[in-house]
Amino acid sequence: MDAGQLAGVFNIMATPFTPDGEVDAEGLRRLVEFQLAAGVDGLTILGIMGEAHKLRETERALVIDTVMDQVRDRVPVVVTVSHGGTAVAVAWAKEAARAGAAAVMAAPPTLLKSPEAVYEFYRRLAGESGVPVVVQDEPVHTGVIMPPELLVRIITEIDGCRYIKLEEAPTPRKIGQILALAPKERPVGVFGGLGGVQVYYELCRGAVGTMTGFAFPEVLVEIYRRFRTGDRDGARALFYRYLPILAFEGQPGIGLAIRKEILWRRGAIPHPSVRHPAMALDAGTRAELDEVMAQLGLDRGRPAL
């Protein structure tokens, strides 16, 4: 698979829950259609945004089967398989491959300090699962720092690892470092992340797209479209216009609750609940969200693109 085959805006899907805390399969189907109508190039499921770490094994399978059945090959789906055990991650990757996933994404096991152990994790995951791997560089939750040299070694030496989902700030700088080190004869597709707050600059540095759970995906789709068609001024202007909501939604700790609130307000999910433990919206945050959405005209439901 060439690095260019996965590119564009991949929405990291939330997992809708019913008011009593169960996975809402019909809500998942509605959210898939909402994302596809927004024009996303692909979907990523069971990530941090999807609260995968709070799901039972049967619920993970339900999410995969429901999403894949609803998508019906209209866009590629990346399934996150991060786990502290290599064998478990491999088993999840095989399950994703059987379901028809275009790729799997995995962060290294939490607090893994040895670069050789990180390398071996990805070697086994790619070699044993038989599906392309997106290497997730996510030090905030994992505590694992992967310098550009290690990431380039992984994507250069391990055939199945051809993509990186980058989330170590500052992301534009690290994207530039990786692409400067990567051999030209073996291209790597680097996706930005971190809520999209640097998406324009990530694209300028050579990112092939972004993976984020931003609740106004059509904004990112249009920024990406303008950038790829050579309209950098237009892409930059749109990025600057909506940066306040990108930043507000991406607040650490409470960002997931904000995103689900927005998705609920937009009719994308039936209920905005998050699973415990999680930070819930307070009255002040809800009022601040009202203000920023009103200032940007987003209280009318759709961004003006």
Task: Read off the CATH number of the domain in which 168 is found.
Answer: 3.20.20.70
Q: Is residue 201 a part of any domain in this protein?
A: yes
SS3 143: coil
Q: Is residue 269 a part of any domain in this protein?
A: no
User: What is the pLDDT averaged over residues 23-50?
Assistant: 97
Of the candidates 297, 302, 300, 301, the residue with the CA atom closest to the CA atom of residue 241: 297
At residue 227 the predicted structure's pLDDT band, cuts being 50, 70 and 90, is very high
Residue 172 amino acid letter:
P
Q: Is residue 301 a part of any domain in this protein?
A: no
Q: Is residue 63 a part of any domain in this protein?
A: yes
Residue 288 amino acid letter:
E
- Domain count of the fold of the chain: 1
- In this structure, the dihedral spanned by the alpha carbons of residues 145, 147, 150 and 151, taken in order and rounded to 10 degrees, is 90
Residue 212 amino acid letter:
T
Q: Is residue 119 a part of any domain in this protein?
A: yes
227 within 8 A of 200, measured Cβ to Cβ: yes
Q: Is residue 251 a part of any domain in this protein?
A: no
Instruction: List CB contacts of 278: < 8 A, sequence separation 6 or more.
Output: 51, 256, 257
Q: Is residue 280 a part of any domain in this protein?
A: no
What is the pLDDT at residue 7?
98
CA-based Rg of the chain, rounded to a whole angstrom?
18
Phi-psi category of 100—alpha, beta or left, where left has phi over 0 and alpha has psi -120 to 50?
A: left
At residue 2 the predicted structure's pLDDT band, cuts being 50, 70 and 90, is very low
Tokens read off for 109? 């096991």
205 within 8 A of 179, measured Cβ to Cβ: yes
110 within 8 A of 84, measured Cβ to Cβ: yes
Provide the β-strand partners of residue 190.
164
At residue 186 the predicted structure's pLDDT band, cuts being 50, 70 and 90, is confident
How many Cβ atoms from other residues are within 10 Å of residue 22's Cβ?
A: 12
At residue 4 the predicted structure's pLDDT band, cuts being 50, 70 and 90, is very low
Q: Is residue 296 a part of any domain in this protein?
A: no
How many H helices and E strands in the chain?
12, 8
Does residue 3 surpass a pLDDT of 90?
A: no
| % of the chain surpassing 90 pLDDT | 95
What is the pLDDT at residue 300?
83
Q: What is the pTM of this model?
A: 0.96
d(Cα 186, Cα 209) in Å, to the nearest integer? Answer: 18
d(Cα 217, Cα 214) in Å, to the nearest integer? Answer: 6
Phi-psi category of 11—alpha, beta or left, where left has phi over 0 and alpha has psi -120 to 50?
A: beta
What is the pLDDT at residue 301?
79
**Which residue range is the domain that position 67 belongs to?**
3-242
